Amino acid sequence: ILRSSAAWSAGIEIPEYSIHTAYTDLIVSAQHYIYIENQFFISIADDRTVVNQISAAIYEKILAAHRAQKKFKVYVVLPLLPAFEGQLGTPTGSSIQAIIHWNYASICRGNGNSLLERLVKVVPDPFQYISFYGLRKHEEMLGKITTELVYVHSKLMIVDDRSVIIGSANINDRSLLGTRDSELAILVQDPRFVDSKMDGQPFKAGAFACSLRKSLFRFQIHSFTHSTTHSFIHSFIHSFIHSLIRSFTHSFPQRTLGIAGG
C-alpha cells in the first residue's frame, strides 16, 4: 500500500510520499517498457515551481537506454483536454488553459526544461523511446459522423509486464509530494508468472500485469482496427506497436509539439 499523506490528512509528523518513491523506483529499474495512463502529466526537471521527479527519472532512463543502444519504450496516455468547466478561449476556461499550459510545459514547451526539449539535445529522435497519446472515438449518429474524446481518468503505470501501480494519484505535485492532497495507491509486483514474449523473445510475465496490459491494448487498438487478434496484444513487440501507432498519427508531425530533431 502506498500513500501521499501528512499531518493534516493522517496525523503523521513526517509526510509520506511513497507513491512518488514507487513511481521513480520502478522507472529507474525498468528494463523493457513503461506504460502510463494519467489525467495529468505535470513534471518539469530543474524547475522551482514543479518539483516532483517523474520527468527527471524518465529522462535518465531513456538517456541510459540510448547510450546502451537498447530497445526501450515509454508510452504515456493522457486525455486530449482536461475535464474542467468552462470554454477554451474565454474567461470561463482559465482552469482548462492552466492545465494545458503545465502539461505542455512538462512535455514539450518548457523553455528548455520540458522532457522532450531535454531529450532532443542528447537523443537524435526521442520518439524512438517515448510517445504521448490521447484517445478518441467516432460513430455515426442520425446519418452524420460524430466524434468525442475518450477521457482518461485512470492513474496507473505498468512496467515490463511485471509491476503495476494503480491508485488515486495524478502525476503532479499536488498528488505526489505528500504534503498536499491525500492519495492512496497499490503496488502490485506479481508473485505468479506466465509464459509470454517480450519483443519476440521468451519472457516470464507477471500474471496480473500482463493481463492488465493486454486488456488495455485490446480496448485501444480495437478502436483503431476493430480487431483483437494482433499478436502484439499477447506479446509486447516494440517495433510493431511503434509503427502501428505512428501510422495513425503520422499527420501530426514533431513540429506540432514545438520541438525539432537533433
Measure the CA dihedral 121/122/123/124, to 10°: 60
pLDDT, tens digit, 9 for 90 and up, residues 126-169: 999 999 988 888 888 899 999 888 889 999 999 999 999 999 99
pLDDT at 224 exceeding the cut of 80 = no
- Is 0.95 topped by the overall pTM? no
Pair 182, 139: CB distance under 8 Å: no
- Name which CATH class applies to 2-245: alpha beta
CA–CA distance, 257 with 103 (Å, rounded to integer): 12
Give the pLDDT score at 231.
Answer: 52
pLDDT at 174 exceeding the cut of 90 = yes
pLDDT at 41 exceeding the cut of 80 = yes
Mean pLDDT value of segment 194-210: 91
Residue percentage of the chain with pLDDT more than 90? 63
pLDDT at 44 exceeding the cut of 50 = yes
In eight-state DSSP terms, residue 182 is -
Domain locations in the chain as residue ranges: 2-245
CA–CA distance, 252 with 173 (Å, rounded to integer): 30
Give the pLDDT score at 83.
Answer: 82
Give the pLDDT score at 253.
Answer: 45
CA–CA distance, 177 with 197 (Å, rounded to integer): 36
Give the pLDDT score at 262.
Answer: 43
